[in-house]
């Protein structure tokens, strides 16, 4: 399959779905990392143009860990806007990847770039197959792919429905995030903690829910025209329910 992950910033995909992306690669699927913004405000000390170039290289290095193909959209960090122009750029990226399954941010995430990128993906994925919408890449001929939302920081405002066991690929996830060295200092400046806080703690927390050592959590987008029965995640685990009595 072709698997498309869409993240708002250069380190988002690795943080919230890196282990799952590595699982896809292990089984022979082609994985695309599409990054919406250039990360040009992601530092308290480095000028915008310089940090953007640094983060571009970090994104390339992170994707290369598992051999993912990288698509950079180049919008300004923290100022992603839903517009006709933006939708055309996203649709073109979708057509380049020609995905069988798509992952994006939860539409009610804490960061506006996260929420807006997830909104655009969910709203526009069917447009990739509309020939009269013209972009550089031709319209895809595949059926509308299912869309899955990625987890949020600390799992806030996110109720998972599906989990992927990433116990075996967690080291690859860590290696991918280590490529984004510029963001460790930025996370400390912005939130008071380092990037490691986004890795092992959430992975073990979601793993505890799923009954495995480490997991990543997702939920499907329920829109007409997409399958809700045949989930295309690697060895996915359904959310567990607790029966009363």
Domain limits of the chain? Answer: 2-222
173-229 tens-digit pLDDT: 999 999 999 987 777 777 777 777 779 999 999 999 999 999 999 999 999 888 777
Cα 150 from Cα 138, distance rounded (Å): 27
**Quick check: 237 pLDDT over 80?**
no
In this prediction, residues 43-54 reach a mean pLDDT of: 94
- Determine the pLDDT at residue 164: 97
70-126 tens-digit pLDDT: 999 999 999 999 999 999 999 999 999 999 999 999 999 999 999 999 999 999 999
Cα 146 from Cα 230, distance rounded (Å): 9
Cα 60 from Cα 10, distance rounded (Å): 9
Give percent above pLDDT 90 in the chain: 82
Cα 13 from Cα 30, distance rounded (Å): 15
Angle between helices 170-178 and 48-66 (to 10 degrees): 150
Average pLDDT of every residue of the chain: 93
CB 166 within 8 A of CB 176: no
- Determine the pLDDT at residue 183: 85
Q: Angle 47-51-54 (CA atoms, 0-180°, nearest 5)? A: 150
Q: Is the dihedral of CA 178, 182, 188, 191 positive or negative?
A: negative
- Determine the pLDDT at residue 240: 56
Bridge-based pairing state of the strands 236-238 and 162-165:
antiparallel
In this prediction, residues 153-162 reach a mean pLDDT of: 94
- Determine the pLDDT at residue 245: 34
In this prediction, residues 156-162 reach a mean pLDDT of: 95
Sequential DSSP letters for 178-244: HT-THHHHHHHHHHSS-GGGGTHHHHHHHHHHHTSSSEEEEEE---TTS-SSS--STTEEEPP----
- Which residue would you say has higher pLDDT here, 237 or 176? 176
CATH class of 2-222: alpha beta
């Amino acid at each position: 399959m072709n698997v498309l992950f869409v993240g708002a910033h250069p380190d988002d995909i690795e943080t919230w779905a890196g282990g799952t992306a590595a699982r896809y690669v292990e089984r022979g699927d082609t994985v695309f990392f599409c990054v919406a913004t250039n990360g040009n405000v992601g530092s308290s000390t480095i000028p915008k143009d310089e940090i953007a170039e640094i983060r571009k290289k970090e994104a390339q290095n992170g994707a290369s860990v598992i051999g993912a193909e990288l698509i950079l959209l180049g919008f300004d960090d923290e100022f992603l806007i839903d517009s006709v122009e933006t939708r055309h750029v996203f649709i073109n990226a979708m057509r380049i990847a020609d995905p069988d399954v798509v992952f994006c941010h939860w539409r009610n995430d804490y960061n506006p770039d996260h929420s807006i990128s997830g909104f655009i993906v969910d709203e526009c994925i069917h447009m990739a197959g509309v020939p009269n919408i013209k972009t550089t890449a031709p319209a895809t001929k595949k059926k509308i792919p299912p869309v899955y939302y990625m987890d949020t920081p600390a799992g806030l405002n996110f109720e998972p429905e599906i989990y992927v066991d990433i116990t075996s690929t967690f080291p690859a996830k860590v290696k991918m995030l280590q490529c984004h060295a510029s963001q460790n200092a930025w996370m400390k400046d912005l939130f008071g903690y380092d990037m490691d806080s986004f890795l092992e703690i959430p992975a073990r927390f979601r793993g505890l829910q799923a009954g495995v050592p480490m997991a990543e959590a997702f939920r499907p987008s329920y829109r007409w025209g997409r399958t809700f029965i045949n989930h295309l995640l690697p060895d996915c685990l359904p959310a567990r329910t607790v029966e009363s009595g």
